[in-house]
Chain A
Amino acid sequence: MTTFTKIPKEIEEALKKEGRSTSRRDFLRSSGLLVVGIGAASVVHINAPTAAAQAAGPYPDPDFRQLDSWIVIREDNTATFYVGKTDLGQGTGTAFRQIMSDELDIAYDRTSLVMGSTDVTVDQGGSGGSDALQRDGWPVRRVAAEARRVLLELASGQFSTPVDRLTVSEGVITVAADPSKSVTYGELISGRQFNVSLTGDNVNATTGRARLKTVQELKIVGQSIQRYDIPPKVDGSLKWAVDVKLPGMVHARNVKPSVAGAQLISIDESSVQDIPGFIQVVSKGNYVAVICEREEQAIQAARQLQVEWRKPTTAPFPASDDLHRFMRDATPTSNGEPRVVGNPEASLAEAANVVEAEYYVPFQGHTSFGPAHATADPSDDQLTIYSNDMKSYGLRNGVAQFLRMPRDRVRVVWMDGPQAYGRTAADDAGFEAAFLANEIGRPVRVQWMRHEETAWDTKAPAYSFKMRGGLDGQGNLVALDYDIRSVDYNHVGYNEHDSVLIAQLTGVRRTPSAGRASTPSDKYAIPNRRMSTHVVSLPLIWETPLRTGNLRDPDGPQVTFAAESFIDELAAAANADPIEFRMKLLTASDDDDGGFKRARSIATVKAAAEAYDWDTRPSPRPRSAGDILTGRGFAYSYRSETVAAEIVDVEVNRRTGHVWVKRIVCAHDCGLVVNPMGLRHTVECALLHSLSRALHEEVSFDTEKVTSLDWGSHPSLTHADTPESIEVVLVNGDPNPDRPDLPHYGAGEASCKPLLAAVANAIYDATGVRIRRVPFRDARVLAALDSADV
């Protein structure tokens, strides 16, 4: 392998400025804070002979059981926190700094934070599942509290004064009885290491001996501190993962199979020989990439390369227009054990009024704004991947397995990147850059083109639903039957060495994952209820652009669309107000309400209704005259420990079918709020992401390939769709928001769930027409209105 210097000076300086350079590793190494090979056997199956043959690699794991791995305090009384998380733009970095500053008792602006680079921050898994604060907020609070405890003990020794006679404020410890005696954290520790061991069976359980502050003692938590990452994002100074440049770096572009499941027959390299800067074609199995000196040359070469593919003999999937029918007719690959309460069939048979409906949500993609990219540097017998992948640790482990390299020779430097709400193609690009760099022995930057991203990123599974509900003579909901199907067989996980796209294309096959079909999350008390789940498969499960992966929540938007639309149908059948109908279902329960989920649902629904100024009446409203019909819709759901209740106003143009959501009210309870402004903005954007899915987004395909390839064929929400008003009401932990132990729950995804149903319910309220299929594009809405003579 050619050696291309060390990590370039410019990059190393940038990393050094952020506290994650080699000096950080030297710091950790000097006191044994790096753990060589810990957990390697259980986490990753290293190719043993290779690992044994080489000396320890340059990137052992930071040890989560050492305080120094989490916090560094400098002589100037500033602190840097190291967390194994990534911030996808929702302000979790700022929130981590707030809770750690608060527990450490240091001013927020005297701190900095380093996130998610595998060689300098402990493995907290990167991001996902809205768990940044809900799960990972706890260990970081505990380590910060432990640092404060240790510093107080040091001061106690210095002043020969018991800890309980010391006070601490903003990084300065003072003897209570004699304020002339004080010392800063920086003076106490003065560049030395803590050398304090922590305990805990795993990183999430990491703890010292210090007690945490009560909610009432927290001062920085609860403040709307401005995000530190925003100024460099608006002045152009931030260095993103797309901006990485290395000496000797070359540019790669992929050439994807012409149709799904196509087999590579031949490549005519002479077709690109005339392109200046052309270096070589790299191919293995059905994976093909071109490599050139310059980026535009690689783009040109990928377009121009003549490749012969053999189409599969059977169609890989039905066309998107036929998918719902296909799903209904398919024999499931698995059937979940139905969850049954009471006797739904008997109850439905006796019901005064039975309502039945079918719903459908098509495949929807991430379609990240910036196509997948990564840069890999194979110099000096190590591999560094510069990536925005939200699970940087998984990328490191997966690449090490894929390339059969020891983990301690592979690192991922995490840098900012475009929107990512789950399993994006950033995983795939990271592996491709690593593979290509390894193949040619030079640093390689790879980026997908728009059409690749839109066609080949992982998709949220399509869902189809059959629902039945029974009302008694008084309009009470007595029976509910959900029958749910998803197209989710062989769902890909994150950074799996045997499921990323390049693995599939190079012929790696694992046992396909069963996939899942999810059920609604509500706290309705319904005496007879059944929820049945089924997973179906498309004919082609490998090397397909319709591979499914987690997209924001991941299945809540689909499931809640059907569930909360259908509850609305039942309310209408009962001639009841949609919120009153639901409140009856929430308050009818007599379970013990562990975790206050029912009480918090009730409080959140009430908060939404109050903020909206909801008046009680059934839907639909009397249809207004004129071209613009207006209506309101409600929906609610849970996600993990977080509850969201949403009300929207719509305007439906009966001449064009165009739907404008004019106003959104979202009541949101995620427990203790760390940064109200950051939370509000995240919720606003999550609402609009779901609005985009409600109004615009659908993956289109014929029987051999995806045909939605860009922002024309795959439309997204635009400025023109933006509501006039979005109100986010922070409910904050009812029934007792002042409790000293109020937990901080997750917030990235919960508000995504109810919005699709809220919009559908509002369209019904406005028009009397029920749209049971996403997205509510103009033509579809107009056709529904026309067929109902609206």
Chain B
Amino acid sequence: MSKITLKVNGETHTVDIDPSTPLLYILRNDLDLRGPRFGCGLGQCGACTVIINGEAVRSCIRPTSSVQGQEITTLEGLAQDGALDPLQQAWIDEQVPQCGFCQNGQILTAKVLLDKNPDPTDAQVRQGMAGTLCRCMTYYRIQAAIKRAAKTIAAAKTQTGNEVVA
């Protein structure tokens, strides 16, 4: 056991754990977060996804010691100042989830996708999301929601730009 400091959703936590423990169990069981979930424990499905340094990371296979001190964002940390992220809002507008168990991974993977490529083609969305599974098969709606969010984000940027110019 050793003491490890984690920065999660802007807050700092110190936990006393076996440092090789996958991050997922620390987030869920020590920090009481519900966004990241266990789906496979193999890094195959995406249920456990968190964002670290702008990358979508599978927390079920990431040793906690390796993320010490890095900024970790979970689904709970996506909303800013009480406002949902445009992706979360698009998920509601498109009524994406069925059971919803995978949607943590879908939303966070889409977040990183759009952060890197704000205007992806259909093929880029398919490819970029291909490793994030949904067994209710909400893929069609997820892809619609990603496109919707991309438009919202682009429109907001344009508006901000105009305001600056004005």
Contacts and interface: CB of A to CB of B under 8 A. Distances in A.
Given A296-B21, A689-B136, A710-B42, A236 B104 contact: yes
Interface residues of A, number: 62
A450 B33 contact: no
Given A235-B88, A295-B25, A369-B135, A450 B42 contact: yes
Contacts of A687: 137
A367 B35 CA distance: 21
Contact of B95 (A227, A243, A245, A450): A227
Report the contact-size class of chain B (Cβ under 8 Å from the partner).
Answer: 35 or more
B101 A370 contact: yes
Given A234-B97, A296-B22, A716-B135, A722 B91 contact: no
A500 B8 CA distance: 40
Given A296-B18, A416-B100, A681-B98, A371 B38 contact: yes
Nearest to B79: A235
A367 B97 contact: no
Contacts of B28: 243, 295
Nearest to A717: B137
Contacts of B101: 240, 369-370, 417-419
B98 A229 contact: no
Interface stretch (B51-59, B119-127, B157-165): B119-127
Given A449-B41, A450-B41, A723-B140, A89 B97 contact: yes
B155 to A, nearest CB: 20
Contacts of B150: none
A686 B135 CA distance: 10
Nearest to B29: A295
B72 interface: no
B142 interface: yes
Contacts of A692: 137
B44 interface: yes
B47 A369 contact: yes
Given A234-B92, A234-B107, A369-B135, A720 B140 contact: no
Interface string A558-589: 00000000000000000000000000000000
Interface centre among A237, A685, A692 (most CB of B within 10 A): A685
Interface string B40-69: 111011010000000000000000000000
Interface in A122-176: none
B91 A688 contact: no
Interface in A346-369: 367-369
A712 interface: yes
A287 B42 CA distance: 25
Given A89-B100, A230-B96, A370-B101, A711 B122 contact: no
A416 B101 CA distance: 9
Contacts of B74: 236
Interface string A239-278: 1101101000000000000000000000000000000100
Given A238-B100, A242-B37, A681-B141, A718 B88 contact: no
B112 interface: no
A431 B38 CA distance: 20
A681 B32 CA distance: 31
Contacts of B40: 450, 710-711
A23 to B, nearest CB: 25
B6 interface: no
Contacts of A368: 135
A251 to B, nearest CB: 9
A622 to B, nearest CB: 29
A367 B92 contact: no
A621 B88 CA distance: 44
- Chain B CB within 10 Å, residue with most, of A234, A367, A419: A234
Nearest to A371: B38
B35 to A, nearest CB: 4
Given A294-B25, A370-B39, A710-B40, A236 B137 contact: no
B3 interface: no
Given A229-B100, A238-B100, A682-B98, A369 B1 contact: no
B129 A719 contact: yes
B136 A419 contact: yes
A677 interface: yes
A724 interface: yes
A711 B42 CA distance: 9
A710 B122 CA distance: 28
A369 B134 contact: yes
Interface in B100-132: 100-104, 107, 122, 125-127, 129-132
A230 B143 contact: no
Contacts of A296: 18, 21-22, 25
The 9 closest A-B pairs by CB, nearest first: A89-B99, A688-B137, A233-B100, A89-B98, A418-B101, A369-B135, A236-B75, A719-B129, A236-B35
13 contacts: A230-B92, A233-B97, A234-B100, A295-B28, A417-B99, A418-B101, A450-B42, A682-B98, A711-B40, A716-B133, A718-B131, A719-B127, A719-B142
Given A238-B34, A685-B137, 16 more contacts: A233-B100, A234-B84, A234-B92, A234-B103, A235-B88, A296-B21, A370-B101, A371-B38, A418-B99, A681-B138, A686-B137, A689-B137, A716-B133, A718-B129, A719-B127, A721-B139
